[in-house]
Amino acid sequence: MKQTSIVVKLGASMLVLVLAIVLPLGFVLNQLFANFYFNETEEELDRLSDRYAASITSLGTEQLVLFERLSSLTDRPIVVVDDEGMVVANSGVAGLPEGRRVASAELAQLTDSATRQEEYVDPVTGIRYLSIGKPIVEQDELIGAVFVLDAAEDLYQSLAAVRQSVILSATGAVLLALGFTLILSRRLSDPLVDMARAARKMAKGDLATRVAAGGHDEVGALAAAINDLAVELQQYRQNRRQFFADVSHELQTPMTYLEGYASALENKLYQTEEEQQHYIRIIRQETDRMSRLVQDLFELSKMEEGKIALVFEEVDIIEVAENAVMKTRMQAQQKGIDMIFRRPDTAPSVEADGARMEQIFTNLVDNAVKYTESGTITVTVSAQTDMMEITVADTGSGIPATDLPHVFDRFYRVEKSRSREFGGTGLGLAIVKQLTELQGGTIDVASEPGTGTRFTLRFPVRKEAAQ
């Protein structure tokens, strides 16, 4: 589909906007100047015609000659007609010679002391005049009319000059607006074109492409967002590759065991029945481990996609934590580890999925038992103002500072060799973090090598309980 350049769109919009402002403005200015000039002239003509009409007492030749000479001093010709419309005096209008009759309709409008105002074009010279006529009345009887004229050519030339100035100004404004629009649209469109080009490269797999950072405006924010997206996509690609590599590795080891021991059983490479049973136990253990791995992956995938079904209800955190401690107490006793559970007498409930909460606590306590050779595991429940805080602390080997940021990553193990010994899938803490956040909680970890590790969970209490 053919695309319209932003330069064209913005230029057209700016042109329409400028024209929408300039054209009405030019029309208004033209009308203002025209009204001003014509009103000034008409007021002057009206004053003169009043004086002439009041001063002329008869249409005698001597008096009319006097007024003709007087009009030449004011540079405004006069035309006097009698009551029959015959021109009896003319001080310089070639198209109205003495003895010519004016239209009866024009003369009729001057009766009853009316004023006749019009624009007159001299048919002989082609000069345009503004004309105002007033009736000449003697003893309440109309004896004629006097017309005072003023050449309008200067007015029209002045208006033409004003109109030309407005047109030139409008043209300049349009050109200036188009130039400004061109520069502005280029400044806007060039970064967008670069972003589109970079996006196409990213779509083809070149995620190392970056957009030049713009200013602190919307375009700059868009450029930063595209760069952030590229980083996220690059991280996603690396995580996906690492995920597939980790899954392949995690499945390869049990598959190797299964293949090796199944082959040994098939070829009867065992010496005693006890050795045969040992091979079968290993096959069963690796099969169970693969099943747990697949189940954990499936569950974690559903959590990340938001498709896991949680049944929120009123949950007693103390009871759930105590159940998790009871489940792992025997395993801790077998290793000579002291299990301590600290709890307040009463605590507000939280809105959560009880089964998933128990899964979180059991996983954390079970991990603490696995990675603690001797010492103490302390589970503490405490009630804050609007939070329930649960800590699981052990005196195990601890986690190095370089590994702490990754403990919640999938398949990440601090001690890979010991993880296989304990039968872990490397997904337990990732599942714990997802389940915690899905229920509105947070989880933090603090650890010192040789001292132990401390996981802290926080969940908001129910609103009714908080009140």
Q: What pLDDT, on a 0 to 100 scale, did the predictor assign at position 60? A: 73
Whether the predicted pLDDT of 249 surpasses 50: yes
Q: What pLDDT, on a 0 to 100 scale, did the predictor assign at position 108? A: 56
Whether the predicted pLDDT of 184 surpasses 50: yes
Average pLDDT over every residue of 50-77:
72
Q: Where do the CATH 1.10.287.130 domains begin and end in the chain?
A: 218-303
Average pLDDT over every residue of 117-145:
78
Token pair belonging to 41:
């002239």
Of the listed ranges 146-160, 296-310, 415-429, the one predicted with least confidence: 415-429
Q: Which amino acid is at 389?
A: E
Which of 98-102, 159-163, 315-319: highest mean pLDDT?
A: 315-319
Note the pLDDT tens digit of each residue in 294-307: 776 777 677 766 66
Average pLDDT over every residue of 453-459:
93
Residue 248, judged by CB atoms within 10 A of its CB (0-12, 13-18, 19+), counts as exposed
Q: Which residues pair with 380 in a beta bridge?
A: 342, 391
Q: Which pTM value belongs to this model?
A: 0.48
Average pLDDT over every residue of 160-174:
80
Whether the predicted pLDDT of 1 surpasses 50: no
Determine phi and psi for 293, rounding to 5 degrees: -60, -50
Whether the predicted pLDDT of 287 surpasses 60: yes
Q: Pairing relation of β-strands 375-383 and 337-342?
A: parallel
The angle at the Cα of 407, spanning 401 to 408, to the nearest 5 degrees, equals 145
Q: What pLDDT, on a 0 to 100 scale, did the predictor assign at position 84? A: 80
The angle at the Cα of 292, spanning 286 to 298, to the nearest 5 degrees, equals 140
Note the pLDDT tens digit of each residue in 8-49: 777 777 777 777 777 787 777 777 777 777 777 778 878 887
Token pair belonging to 54:
């009041």
If one compares 459 and 264, the residue with the highest pLDDT of the two is 459
Q: Which of 54, 81, 55 is nearest to 66 (CA)?
A: 55
Long-range pairs, 77-82, Cβ under 8 A, ≥24: 77/129, 77/148, 77/149, 78/52, 78/146, 78/147, 78/148, 78/149, 79/146, 79/147, 79/149, 80/56, 80/136, 80/144, 80/145, 80/146, 80/147, 81/107, 81/144, 81/145, 81/147, 82/143, 82/144
Average pLDDT over every residue of 198-214:
80
Q: What percent of the chain has pLDDT over 70?
A: 83
Banded model confidence at residue 214, pLDDT cuts 50, 70, 90: low
Note the pLDDT tens digit of each residue in 38-56: 777 778 878 887 887 777 7
Average pLDDT over every residue of 66-89:
76
Banded model confidence at residue 6, pLDDT cuts 50, 70, 90: low
Distance set, CA 272 to CA 261, 276, 285 (Å): 14, 6, 20
> Residue 411 in contact with residue 424, Cβ under 8 Å?
no
Distance set, CA 363 to CA 75, 281, 406, 416 (Å): 112, 25, 17, 18
Mean pLDDT of the chain: 79
Q: Where do the CATH 3.30.565.10 domains begin and end in the chain?
A: 309-460
Choose the CATH number for 6-157 among 1.10.3720.10, 3.30.470.10, 3.30.70.1450, 3.30.450.20.
3.30.450.20
Whether the predicted pLDDT of 112 surpasses 50: no
Whether the predicted pLDDT of 113 surpasses 50: no
Exposure letters 406-428 (e unless 16+ CB within 10 A, then b)? ebbbbbbbbeeeebeeeebbbbb
CA distance 462 to 346: 14
Q: What is the 3-state secondary structure (H, E, C) of the chain?
A: CCCCCHHHHHHHHHHHHHHHHHHHHHHHHHHHHHHHHHHHHHHHHHHHHHHHHHHCCCCCHHHHHHHHHHHHHHCCCEEEEECCCEEEEECCCCCCCCCCECCHHHHHCCHHHCCEEEEEECCCCCCEEEEEEEEEEECCEEEEEEEEEEECHHHHHHHHHHHHHHHHHHHHHHHHHHHHHHHHHHHHHHHHHHHHHHHHHHHCCCCCCCCCCCCCCHHHHHHHHHHHHHHHHHHHHHHHHHHHHHHHHHHHHHHHHHHHHHHHHHCCCCCCHHHHHHHHHHHHHHHHHHHHHHHHHHHHHHHHCCCCCCCCEEECHHHHHHHHHHHHHHHHHHCCEEEEEECCCCCCCEEECHHHHHHHHHHHHHHHHHCCCCEEEEEEEEECCCEEEEEEEECCCCCCCCCHHHCCCCCCCCCHHHHHHHCCCCCHHHHHHHHHHHCCCEEEEEEECCCEEEEEEEEEECHHHHC
State the CATH architecture for 218-303. Answer: Orthogonal Bundle (1.10)
The angle at the Cα of 166, spanning 163 to 172, to the nearest 5 degrees, equals 140
Q: Which of 437, 428, 435 is nearest to 409 (CA)?
A: 428
Q: What pLDDT, on a 0 to 100 scale, did the predictor assign at position 458? A: 93
Q: Is the domain 309-460 a CATH 3.40.50.12780 member?
A: no
Q: Where do the CATH 3.30.450.20 domains begin and end in the chain?
A: 6-157
Q: Who contacts 260 (Cβ-Cβ below 8 Å, separation ≥6)? A: none
Q: What pLDDT, on a 0 to 100 scale, did the predictor assign at position 105? A: 58
Banded model confidence at residue 159, pLDDT cuts 50, 70, 90: confident
Whether the predicted pLDDT of 151 surpasses 50: yes
Taking residue 215's Cβ as centre, other Cβ atoms within 10 Å add up to: 11
Q: What pLDDT, on a 0 to 100 scale, did the predictor assign at position 298? A: 73
Q: Who contacts 296 (Cβ-Cβ below 8 Å, separation ≥6)? A: 425, 427, 428, 431
Average pLDDT over every residue of 337-359:
88
